[in-house]
Every structure is written in C-alpha cells, then in structure tokens.
Amino acid sequence: MPVPVYGTFSQEALDREYSPSSLSPGFRDVLRRQARYSARIRSVLPCETDVAYGPDPCERLDFFPAPGVAGGSRGRVPVHVFVHGGHWQESSKEESAYAALAVTRAGASFVALGYGLAPVFSMEQMVAQVARALCWVREHARELGSRPDAVYASGSSAGAHLIAAALSSAPAVPGVQRPEVAGVCLMSGVYDLRPVRLSYVNRAVGLDDAAVLAYSPVEHLPLRTPRVILARGDRETGEYARQHQEFADALNRCGRRRVRDLVVAGRDHFALPGDLCVPGTALGAAVLDQMGLG
C-alpha cells in the first residue's frame, strides 16, 4: 500500500493533484491559442514593450494603454496588471497579453508582467519582483494615464500566488517595499505551499521549510488590498479546490468583507484566464465591476 506523504495522499496522488493538466487533456492547445492571440494583439494594439521596473533583465513589463491614453486625451483610467502562471517555472509576458484587447476595450490600460523563473530564481526573488513591479506601476501611475489608487492586479495559478504573497502581511523582502493595490483577481491559485514542497513541482522551485512559511499567503493575512475576487473553474483538482475554499474562508475570517468567491462553470485551470474582462462571462463581469467599468 502506498505510503502517504501529505494527508492521505501518496506521492503519485499528490503529484497528480498539483498537475492541473490531469483534468485538462486539451491544455496545450489552450496555451498555444493564448500565445498566438497574444502575438496577434501585440501586432494590432499600441504597446510599449520591455519597460524596466527593476534592475534585473527579467524585470520588464509590457504596457498596453487604454484608448486615448497614449495621446493624452483621456482622463485617469484604471490600469490592470496581469501576472502569468506556469508553476513558477514556465511561460512569459510575451505569451500573456491575450487579455489586453478586452481590458483596453473596457477602458483600462493593461500590463503584462515578466518575472524570473525557477530554478534560476528563488521564491523569495519572484515574490520580490512582483512586489517591486506593483510598486513601480503605482509610482508611475500618472505617467501611465492612471492614478495610484486605480491600480488593479490579476494572476493565474502561480501568478495568483505571487500576487497574494506580494500583498500579504508577511515581513517584506529586504530592500523591497510592500505594495498596495485597489483590487485583485486571484485565479486558480495555491495559497498554502506545504503540499507543493512535497510534490514534484518542488524539484524546480526548491522550497524549504522557511520559504513555505514565509511565502504561504494564508499564513499572512490580511492582504494589502480592499477588494478580492477569488476565482477558479469548476474543473479543478481536489487540492486546487481545497486551496481556493480555505483561502476564501481565511480572508473572510480576517474581516475582508469584499471577497467575491467565484466557481465558474465549464472552465478549467487553463481556460479560465481567457475570460478576464470579457463581457458576458462571470469572471469578466466581476473584474470589470471591480474596476468600476461594469
């Protein structure tokens, strides 16, 4: 009989729980479509690429202004920062611009955020980079046609975790400020890193006990934002569903009354981010409403 390594999970079972592709047989097609659409959007929308928000070459962002912002004829509009997923070790900002068209059409500017990936970069460095980027966007909000109190962020999977960790109440990484944002949308995230450390994912990420405690957002609440959308598809593994529900419960217990809990029918781990700011979808409507664009 297999020996449990976490709760009642054997190693094989735990690895499967933290493999969202196990419930998404067409996930590679979804990722390819998102990458192709991101490339197409870059060819048709105004975009300022590879803007430095920090000293490392990977600390770059791509900025898609809302209509009118580039020419200075528009008022102060929201800016929405998207942090991609990929188990902290895959994907890029270049593949993560697929929401830019929906966001800019709705009247907000869009930022696709790049950051360093494991195993080259540690969890501490990744969290610090996302925190640094959010601080940079706030500090430069007026230059971007926005204002500091109209910066929003969303992330999928590892991106959701990194945003939550950057906005948590844990002590800041030395030399990096703690950011604050007007609202976040966290999609299909992991908020307790203990089982991740015991899974195959940790071969690249390299978490130890100290990192698990420091960068598990559920241990460091409240988040530094007044509005939270917590979303997942209804086609997630049991562990992703558990992480979602336990984080929602913890946020509600710590007094964050503006927590919107979404379980979206017909969506899985990979398809859900495609609804970001798309009118007529449950996730799109929630994010637009959060930014005051509903």
3-state secondary structure of 293: coil
pLDDT digits (tens, 9 = 90+) for 139-150: 999 999 999 999
Query: Which is nearest to 173 in space by CA: 218, 117, 202, 135?
Result: 135
Over residues 243-266, the mean pLDDT reads 91
Cis status, amide bond into 222, omega within 30 of 0? yes
Residue 240 has pLDDT above 50, yes or no: yes
- Which residues are within 8 A (CB) of 259 and not within 5 positions of it... i.e. 6 or more apart? 228, 230, 248, 251, 252
Q: Which is it for strands 109-113 and 228-235: parallel, antiparallel or unpaired?
A: unpaired
> pLDDT of 117-127, one tens digit each?
999 999 999 99
What the block records as the tokens of 113 is 């955020």
Pairing of strands 79-83, 109-113: parallel
User: What is the tens place of the pLDDT at every residue in 205-219?
Assistant: 999 999 999 999 999
Question: How many angstroms separate the Cα of 151 from the Cα of each of 109, 135, 138, 278?
Answer: 10, 10, 7, 19
Angle between helices 158-166 and 123-139 (to 10 degrees): 70
- Separation of alpha carbons 169 and 232, rounded Å: 23
**Cβ atoms of residues 178 and 136 within 8 Å:** no
CB under 8 Å to 203, separation ≥6 — which residues? none
Residue with tokens 């430069």: 140
Q: Tell me the mean pLDDT in the region 2-23.
A: 94
Output DSSP code: residue 224: S
- What pLDDT does 172 receive? 80
How confident is the model at residue 76, as a pLDDT? 83
- Please state the pTM of the whole predicted model: 0.96
Cβ–Cβ under 8 Å, residues 282 and 275: yes
Residue type, 154: S
Domains and CATH numbers, the chain: 11-290 (3.40.50.1820)
Per-residue pLDDT for 69 more than 50? yes
Please write the tens of the pLDDT for every residue from 187-208.
Answer: 999 999 999 999 999 999 999 9
Average pLDDT over residues 139-166: 97
